[in-house]
Chain A
Amino acid sequence: MRIGSAKQSYAADAALFDSRTQWAWVGVLVASLLAFPFVANEYWLYLACLVAINIASTTGLNLLTGYTGLVSLGQSAFMGLGAYTVAILQIRYGTPMLLNLLAGGVVAMLAGVVVGVPSLRVKGLYLAIATIAAGVIAHFVFSHFADLTGGSAGLSVPPAQVLGVVLDSSFKLYWVIVPITVLLLIGAANLFRTRIGRAFIAIRDRDISAEVLGIPLLRYKLLSFAISSFYAGVAGGLFAYFFRAITPESFPLIMSIFFLAAVIVGGMGTMLGSVLGAVFMTLVPEVLKLIVGWLPLGESAMLVLSPVRTIVFGLMIVLFLIFEPHGLAEVWRRIRRLFHLWPFRT
C-alpha cells in the first residue's frame, strides 16, 4: 500500500490510475508507442505487431480464466474462427477492415456462447477438457468445408486497406493493430469497474455463493465466454491480416496452451499480467534464437532450436507455477514497492 493516497470518493477509488505520477507514466508509454515505429527496424516492428495480437488474445483468456475462473483450452479455436471470418469477408466481399474485424469478433463470440453453455454444469478441469473439443471441431470445420475455407491449403488474405492506404508492411499494420489492442485493453480494464466485472470475480471466488448473492450464473458465465471469445476473434482477425495466410494448422491446441501459459506466467486476474505474460512468452523464443545463434553449434543450430524452444516453453510454465505462482505482475508489484519504500524493506 502507498502512503498518503487517501481516497475521498468511490470514483477516486475505482479510478484506473490514481495519481499524477501514474498519468505521467501513461503519457510516456503512449509517446514511446507512437515513436516506436520510427526508430525500430522491420524485425522489431514485426515482433511488436505479433506481441500486440498476442496481448489482445491473452487479455480475452484472462477475462475468462483469470477473472471468471473458467479454464479454457479453446482460445485458438476462437481465434481461428475470427481469422477465417475476416479472411472470407475480405476475399469475397472486400468489406472494410474494421467491419471485418468486428464481424470476426462477433462470429467468435457466438461460438463462444455455444461452447460456454455446458459451463454451467461442467466444472473445473472437466470444462477445460471439454473446450479441447471446441478446438477439434473447429479444426474439422476449417479443413472440411473447403468451398468456404479452402480446405487444408487454407486461404491467403489480400492486404487490408484503410483510408486508401494498403497495409502491406509491419510499419503500416502497426498503426492499426496497436491501437485496437490498446482499445481492447482499456475496455477490459474498465469492465472490472462495472457490475459485470465484479460479478465475474464473484463467480471465480465461489460460484455457488455468487448465485446465492443474486448473480445469474448462466448469464454471466456465458457473458464471460462471449467477451473472451470476442477478444480472441478480433485477435484472430488481426492475425489473418498480419500473416496474410491461414490454414487449419495455424490454430493448433498448443496455441491455446500458449495463451493459457501466458495468462499464468503474467498473472491470473490482473490486466498487467495479460500484457506482461504475452510480451514475455512471445519474446522468449526470439531471445532463445539469439542465444542459440551465438553458441558455436554451426549447422546443427537450427536443428537444436525447435526442441530447445519446446523445452523452455514447458520449463517456464513449470518454474513460474512453482516459484512465482502470481506471475510477472507480482514481480512488477514487488519492484515498484521496493522503489516506493526505499530505503526500507517491504
Chain B
Amino acid sequence: MDWWLLFEIGLAGIGSGGLYALTGLAFVMIYKATRVVNLAIGEMLMFSAYMLLAFTTGMGLPIWLAIPGALLVSAVFGMLVERTLIRPMLGESPISSFMVTVGLSSILVGLVELVWTADQQRLPEFLPTDAIRLGDAFISPKVFYGFWIAVLLIAAVLLLFRFWRGGVALRATASDQAAAYSMGINVPRVFSMAWMAAAVIAGVAGIVVGSIGGLSSVMGAFGLSVLVVVIFGGLDSVLGALVGGLIVGLVEALSGFYLGGEYKILATFSLLVLILMVRPYGLFGTHEIERL
C-alpha cells in the first residue's frame, strides 16, 4: 500500500469535498429559511458559471470585473426565482415546491443548451497554475485553491450567520416563522435574502467547479452529489452539510480511484441508503416529532 498515494487521493477528495460542502451550505440555507428542497441547486451553479463565461469570453471583460458581475447576476436571479416561482408555492405541499425546482432545473438546462449549445466550454484561467507539493503528494493547483476559496467563503458565511443582523433574522425565521414575524422580522424579505445568498454561494462554487472541469450543460449533475451530501448530513444542518461534503468528497475520490470512475456515484448513493436506514433524518438533521 502506497501511503503517499492514498494521502494524495485523500487530499483531492477533501478538495472536491470543500466544494460539495460549499454548495451544500447554499442548499441548507434555502431549506432552513424557506423549507424548499431545491433540486435546481446544480443548475443554479451552472447558471453562474455560464454567466462568467458570457462576461469574459462573450463580452471580453477582465476577470476581476467579470466575477463580481456574474455573482451579482446570480443574486438577482436567485431573488427573481424566489419571487416568481417559490413565493406562489407558499403553503402548498413540499412536493409542489420540490417539483417547481425540478422544472426550474430543466428550464435552465434548456436555456444553456439554446444559447451555448450542449458542447463543452472552457472558462479563462484565473487561478495560479503551478503545482503544489506536500511531501511526496501532488495536488492539482485548481483543486487546492478551490478548496481554500470554499473554506474562506464558508467561514465568512458562518460568521455572518452568527453576528450579522440579517443572519440572525434568518436563523430566527428558520427556528420559528410565526415568532420571527411577530418580533418584527420581515419574513418575506428573509426568504428573498436566503435565495440571493444561496445563489451567490452556489455561484462561487459554480465558478470554481467550472474552472476545474470546464462547463457543459450536464454540469448540474454536480447537484446530484450535493443532494447526497445534504441528505447525508441532514437537510437542515449546516454542520451536516460541511461534514457530509467532506465525507462524500473523500468517498468519491477513494472509490473512483480504487474501483473505477463508474463506481463513484454508486458508492455515494450506497452511503446515502446506509445512512437513511440508520438515521432517516440524516447525521445531524433535526428529528421532527410528529403529533396528531
| A302, CB-defined interface residue at 8 Å | no
| B286, CB-defined interface residue at 8 Å | no
Majority-rule SS of B interface residues: helix
| A318, CB-defined interface residue at 8 Å | yes
Give A143 Cβ to nearest chain B Cβ, in Å. Answer: 7
A322: contacting residue among B85, B95, B270, B276, CB under 8 A: B85
Give chain A residues whose Cβ lies under 8 Å from the Cβ of B109: 307, 310, 314
Encode B13-29 as 1/0 by CB contact (under 8 A) with A. Answer: 00000000000000000
Q: Say whether B98 contacts A307, CB under 8 Å.
A: no
A118: contacting residue among B104, B224, B262, B273, CB under 8 A: B273
Give B120 Cβ to nearest chain A Cβ, in Å. Answer: 16
| A132, CB-defined interface residue at 8 Å | yes
Give chain A residues whose Cβ lies under 8 Å from the Cβ of B231: 126, 129-130
Give chain B residues whose Cβ lies under 8 Å from the Cβ of A124: 94-95
Ordered by A's residue number, 12 sampled pairs between the chains whose C-beta atoms are within 8 Å are A126-B281, A128-B98, A132-B224, A132-B227, A133-B272, A137-B269, A212-B292, A307-B109, A310-B107, A311-B110, A314-B104, A317-B106
Q: Contacts A121-B280, A129-B231, A318-B100; is A136 near B105 (CB within 8 Å)?
A: no
B110: contacting residue among A121, A130, A257, A309, CB under 8 A: A309
B280: contacting residue among A118, A144, A306, A313, CB under 8 A: A118
Q: Which residues of A contact B (CB under 8 A)?
A: 65, 71, 118, 121-126, 128-130, 132-133, 136-137, 140, 143-144, 206, 208-209, 212, 257, 260-261, 264, 303-304, 306-318, 321-322, 325
A-B contacts counted at CB < 8 A amount to: 130
Across the interface, name the chain A residue whose C-beta is closest to B87: A322
Segment of B62-70, B111-119, B169-177 engaged in the interface with chain A: B111-119
| B235, CB-defined interface residue at 8 Å | yes
Give chain B residues whose Cβ lies under 8 Å from the Cβ of A321: 89, 92, 96, 99-100, 103
Known: A125-B98, A261-B103, A325-B96. 7 other contacts (CB 8 A): A122-B276, A126-B235, A129-B227, A133-B270, A257-B102, A308-B114, A325-B92
Give chain A residues whose Cβ lies under 8 Å from the Cβ of B228: 129
Q: Which residues of B contact A (CB under 8 A)?
A: 37, 85, 88-89, 92, 94-96, 98-100, 102-114, 117-118, 224, 227-228, 231, 235, 262, 265-266, 269-270, 272-273, 276-277, 280-282, 290, 292
Q: Say whether B103 contacts A310, CB under 8 Å.
A: no
Q: Say whether A318 contacts B276, CB under 8 Å.
A: no
Give A327 Cβ to nearest chain B Cβ, in Å. Answer: 11
- Bound complex: CA A208 to CA B288 (Å): 14
Q: Say whether B262 contacts A317, CB under 8 Å.
A: no
Q: Say whether A136 contacts B99, CB under 8 Å.
A: no
- Bound complex: CA A312 to CA B107 (Å): 7
Q: Say whether B280 contacts A136, CB under 8 Å.
A: no
Q: Contacts A125-B94, A314-B104, A314-B110; is A130 near B99 (CB within 8 Å)?
A: no
- Bound complex: CA A125 to CA B31 (Å): 12
Residue among A129, A136, A261 with max Cβ neighbours from chain B (10 Å): A129
Q: Contacts A143-B262, A325-B92; is A314 near B227 (CB within 8 Å)?
A: no
Give chain B residues whose Cβ lies under 8 Å from the Cβ of A71: 95, 98
Q: Say whether A317 contacts B292, CB under 8 Å.
A: no
Q: Say whether A140 contacts B266, CB under 8 Å.
A: yes
The 10 closest A-B pairs by CB, nearest first: A314-B106, A317-B103, A311-B110, A310-B110, A314-B107, A307-B113, A318-B103, A307-B114, A133-B269, A314-B103
Q: Contacts A137-B266, A261-B99, A310-B109; is A126 near B280 (CB within 8 Å)?
A: yes
Give A67 Cβ to nearest chain B Cβ, in Å. Answer: 13
Give chain B residues whose Cβ lies under 8 Å from the Cβ of A306: 113, 118
- Bound complex: CA A171 to CA B173 (Å): 59
Q: Say whether B114 contacts A311, CB under 8 Å.
A: yes
A318: contacting residue among B85, B95, B282, B292, CB under 8 A: B85
- Bound complex: CA A313 to CA B108 (Å): 11
Give B235 Cβ to nearest chain A Cβ, in Å. Answer: 7
Q: Say whether A125 contacts B37, CB under 8 Å.
A: yes
Give B254 Cβ to nearest chain A Cβ, in Å. Answer: 17
Give chain B residues whose Cβ lies under 8 Å from the Cβ of A257: 102, 106
Q: Say whether B104 contacts A318, CB under 8 Å.
A: yes
